[in-house]
Structure 1
Amino acid sequence: MLHPHQKTKRIFLCNIQEVIMSGSLIPKIIMFTLAFILTALLPSQTLNAQDDLPLLTLEECIEKGLNNDPDIVRAEQSLSQINNTLWTDYGSFLPSVTTSLGYNWNSRPTVAEYIETPDGQPIPVYVNESYSTSLNINQNLFNGFSDYFTLRANRHNKRAVEKNYSNEVINAVYDIRTGYYEVLQTMKLADVQRKALERSREQLRITETRYELGSAALSDVLKARVSEGEARLNLINAENNYKVAMANLNYLVGIDIEQQYRVDSSVIVRETDYTLENSLAVAIDNNPTLQSLKASLDASRNSVRAAWGGFLPNLNFNFSTSYYQAGAFEFGDIYSANHNYRYGLTLSLNIFDRFLTKRNVSTARASLNTDKFNYHNYVNNLKLLVTQSYLNLERAQLAMEVSGDKLASAQEDYKLAQEKYSLGAATILDLLNAEVSLKTAESDLIDSEYNLNLAIASLEKALGTIEY
């Protein structure tokens, strides 16, 4: 079924043919000019089957994606594990306390004690059960500061894990942003191809009409048909690209890839005031990967100090008490002969441990050297990344301005080519070339908008300041 505007165009073109065939005094050239003006002014049919679909904004996509991203879930688990490790490190400064309760029964009675008869003779008392209890407390007073530096190392490790978590969040936000921008890009490019197809069909109808009237060659009709066929093929490719972009965005958000919704086409390019100098400074202070490497480097330094503690003496304090009673259990005097106390200090020094401590120190130093290299190497890599991202942003901003001027020029050229063709002053090739230039300019403007959004997101990802 034809759109009302398309019906109007077709009726008008038929009237043109009738007027010309009837030998009207109205010059053919004026009628063709009116036909082209009508084609240009009447709005074309726009397919917008998405109006009934729910709207999903960029912010909603990011919120859903952060809740469903598996890398973020794994980072959260790593953060939970390092917190448990810190509890263990804090516990190393506290005493260890153990207690025990015992009960024994023997089928053969044993002598529990001797009692004296009135005449002074000892008589053994036989029992077949006994009870015991004990309490032991042990506190390390000094171990070469190994526990202290281990705690400091794991605090830095926790900071490294936290920065890794932030990095995973930033990566997820960046991927979702670029995926959303790609959907907008492919959607707008499909709309450009749809409009180009409408122009090609109108041009084909007009060319066929002119051919029937004898004012156009068969080659013009064939060229118009080829142009219309290529426009249909380009539209299919553009719509397929849009579907793939939507499926990719659904995957990034963590929803069914077949789920359909509308995206917010009002997303615009944000204004930025970045300079290369402040971008480098912000990146050094905020980039989560660099901050994670710095925390790992600090942790390695403390691990070396903790390993050196193995060469120093250990001092421990211990206290223990026990109680033993044979026969029926009774709460006796705590100072009775069955109650025992013991406390003392133990100083120990590692004289030879088969080079185990030496190996631990060497391993810690090797990790420290590796972390130093990784940190300083990433500093240079980050500076390069920020510089490239900033230069890409500058180029994208300029390309955006040029694309706008290019589109305005192409629109004027296309209008001029239409007028010349209607007057017979231009060939069908001139008109088709102008149409291709217009379509290219429209696509370039959309691509430049996408590239600018992508450049901003890439720079902010490197800076560690991407919005979410």
Structure 2
Amino acid sequence: MNPSLCTKISSLRYAASAVTLLLAGCVAGPDHVPPQTPLPAKFKEGGSKSNGDVVTAEWWTAYRDKQLDSLVAHGLSENLDVLEALESINSASANVTVAGAGSLPRLSVDASHTVSGEKGSERTTIGTTNTTGSEASLAWLLDFFGQYRRSKESAIASLGAAYATADNAKLTFLKDLVESYIDARYYQQRIALSRTNLKSRQQTYELTQLQLKAGAASRLDVVQAEGLVQSTKSDIPGLEQSFAESAHHIATLLGMPAASLMGELQKSAGQPVFRGDVRAGIPADLIRNRPDIRKAERELAAAVADIGAAEAQLYPSISLSGSISPSWVKSSGASGGTLTSWSFGLTLNLPIFDGGKLRANVDIEKSDARTQYLAWKAAVLNGVEEVENALSAVRRDTQTLEPLRRQVQTAQESLALSTTSYKDGASSLLDVLDAQRSVSDAQASLAATVQQVAKDYVDLYVAIGAGYLTRENAASKQTAKAG
């Protein structure tokens, strides 16, 4: 490069550094302060002990189902919604670079070479000229009032919101997957119960036919027994369809074609039962652990920074620019020569009258910030409500399990007694059929409650924001923050 060009660029660099130091503390707009809202010291049905950081708590392992553990591990890295949310982080990261680039000097270099000449009437060359030139241009908009610094702050906050969005996608995936798995096992249980009941009712139907031939039963008894058999048969296809839909949905959540897991899930397994502790923590834990609340807080931070960027446009701006253009010209028959031109100056832009546009932009950003604060507060209160509801559901639904188990036992005992009595001719078929219906209803109610209690624990641990990060991801995130 031309020595004079290097000298000029070096001078501009030192001048830029001096101005940067001079203006470092001059930034328009308010600084973001983490929002606060009054919260109770504990949940109504919870304890007063903090859970701390639960983002890596693998709460689904408390169901003690290895297949479920495998599905979760596979899905966290393959779920399409999660992958889509992770990809948005790359875009948000690039926006940070774009937002900060405006406050940095811009240097461009151009080079050219031109050959020109003239020809006479006899096609003889009168003369040719070779011109080689280059130009280095430097421009810098001085960020006096922090427009670009605030824009970069906003972009960094939006990047944090993108990370929180990805975390929320993982948490949503966990809830959807585990609950779909619980549903699939529930339908399997209902199918198994229906087939067992069908066998019992078929036996009753056959017994009634024998008694009809012996004159100990009426045609009405046979018809009623047959009707119960057909009713049970009609229930099974619907339950099988519901199981298939749950299995297909699980496959989709794992980023696989529907029905690809059908064979594996059809292997019989009992209904998932949560065997862990109820750990709700305290309301203050939610602000740290729930990704939707962190996302709302980061969006508020971005909105506050946007206020400063808008306010900075109300004030004057100064741009520095300079260029150096050395060129070398050589004509035929003459020695070449060098010509260097340069320029350096500044431009002042002073907004005087714009019809109120710039001030209105500030008002818009302030309104957006207030809206984001309300959204953050709503996210916090919604989180508290979800935990309260989950705690209440866990406690009350769990209390119904033992009475329902006892109800199944008594219904089965009643069926056995009524069947024996019917064989002995001491009671009617109607008593047997009623007992069979009671057994079926009690078993269905118990299976549905086991399903609901299992889901209640999902709701609780999702509500407190647990389990969406692996220990490796959490460690890398802490390293990134420290850096």
So what's the TM-score if we normalise by structure 1?
A: 0.76
Q: Distance in 2 between matches of 1:389 and 1:127?
A: 88
Query: Which amino acid in the other structure matches residue 90 of structure 1?
Result: G
**Cα distance, 1:239 vs. partner?**
2.6
1:148 pairs with 2:149? yes
- Of structures 1 and 2, the larger Rg is shown by 1
Identity score, percent: 18
Deviation at 1:224? 1.6
1:439 aligns with: 440
Alignment equivalent of 1:295, drawn from 288, 298, 314: 298
Given that 1:174 and 1:466 are in contact with CA atoms closer than 8 Å, whether structure 2 keeps it comes out as: no
Q: Which residue of 1 aligns with 2:273?
A: 269
TM-aligned CA deviation for residue 375 of structure 1: 1.9
* Corresponding residue for residue 60 of structure 1: 70
The residue type equivalent to 1:241 in the other structure is S
> How far apart, in 2, do the equivalents of 1:396 and 1:137 lie?
71
Deviation at 1:348, TM superposition (A): 4.1
Asked if 1:214 corresponds to 2:218, the answer is no
Instruction: Report whether the alignment pairs 1:91 with 2:101.
Output: yes
Q: Which runs of 5+ in 1 are unaligned?
A: 1-54, 110-124
Partner in structure 2 of residue 193 of structure 1:
194
Provide the C-alpha distance between the structure 2 equivalents of 1:355 and 1:256, rounded to a whole number of angstroms: 56
Aligned length: 394
Native 8 Å contact 1:56 1:262 kept in 2: no
1:322–1:237 CA distance, 2 compared to 1 (3 A): closer
1:234-253 equivalence runs, <5 A? 234-253=235-254
Q: Map 1:35-434 onto structure 2 (within 5 A).
A: 57-108=67-118, 128-259=129-260, 260-263=262-265, 265-266=269-270, 268-274=272-278, 278=281, 280-327=283-330, 338-434=339-435
Which is worse superposed, 88-97 or 185-194?
A: 88-97
How far apart are the structure 2 equivalents of 1:446 and 1:416?
A: 24
- Taking only aligned residues, the RMSD between alpha carbons, in angstroms, comes to 2.9
Q: CA deviation at 1:105?
A: 3.4
**TM-score, length basis structure 2:** 0.74
Q: Matches of 1:161 and 1:206 in 2, distance apart?
A: 67
For residues 282 and 429 of structure 1, do their structure 2 counterparts lie closer, same or farther at Cα, with a shift above 3 Å needed?
A: farther
Post-superposition Cα deviations, 1:159-182, rounded to whole Å, max 9, x if no partner, equal 111111111121122112111111
State the Cα deviation string for residues 1-55 of structure 1 (Å, max 9, x = none): xxxxxxxxxxxxxxxxxxxxxxxxxxxxxxxxxxxxxxxxxxxxxxxxxxxxxx9
Question: Would you say the 8 A contact 2:324–2:340 is kept in 1?
Answer: yes
Q: Is the 8 A contact 1:457 1:466 kept in 2?
A: no
Deviations 1:72-99 (A, max 9, x none): 2332232111111112233334321111
- Measured in 2, the distance between the counterparts of 1:386 and 1:419 equals 50
- Distance apart, 1:230 and its partner CA: 1.7
- Aligned-pair CA distance for 1:411: 2.2
CA distance in 2 between counterparts of 1:133 and 1:254 reads: 55
**Structure 1 residue matching 2:99: 3-state secondary structure:** helix
Counterpart-to-counterpart distance in 1, 2:175 and 2:88: 22
For 1:432 and 1:174, the matched residues in 2 are separated by 40
Q: Report the 3-state secondary structure (helix = DSSP H, G, I; strand = E; otherwise coil) of the residue aligned with 2:353.
A: coil
**In the aligned structure 2, how far is the partner of 1:169 from the partner of 1:205?**
54
- CA, structure 1 residues 467+129, in 2 after alignment: closer, same or farther (shift >3 Å)? closer
Cα deviation digits, residues 149-207 of structure 1 (max 9, x gap): 11111111111111111111211221121111111011110110000010011112222
Which residue identity is paired with 1:446? A
1:72 maps to amino acid: V
SS in 1 for 2:274: coil
1:306 maps to amino acid: A
The change in CA–CA distance for 1:423 and 1:225 in structure 2 (over 3 A counts) is same
Q: Quick one: distance in 1 between partners of 2:232 and 2:200?
A: 9
How far does the alpha carbon of each residue in 1:412-460 deviate from its partner, in whole angstroms, 9 at most, with x for none?
2222223332333322111111111111222122111111111111222
Distance 1:193 1:390 in 2: 32
Aligned mates of 1:220, 1:266 — CA distance in 2? 36
Q: Which runs of 5+ in 2 are unaligned?
A: 1-64, 120-125, 470-483
1:426 counterpart letter in structure 2: S
Contact 2:328 2:338 in 1 (8 A): no
Secondary structure, in 3 states, of the residue corresponding to 2:275? coil
For residues 274 and 68 of structure 2, the distance between their equivalents in structure 1, rounded to whole angstroms, comes to: 14
The answer to which structure, 1 or 2, has the higher relative contact order (CA under 8 A, 6+ apart) is 2
SS at match of 1:102: strand
Moved more, 437-446 or 311-320: 311-320
Distance in 1, Cα, partners of 2:210 & 2:397: 44
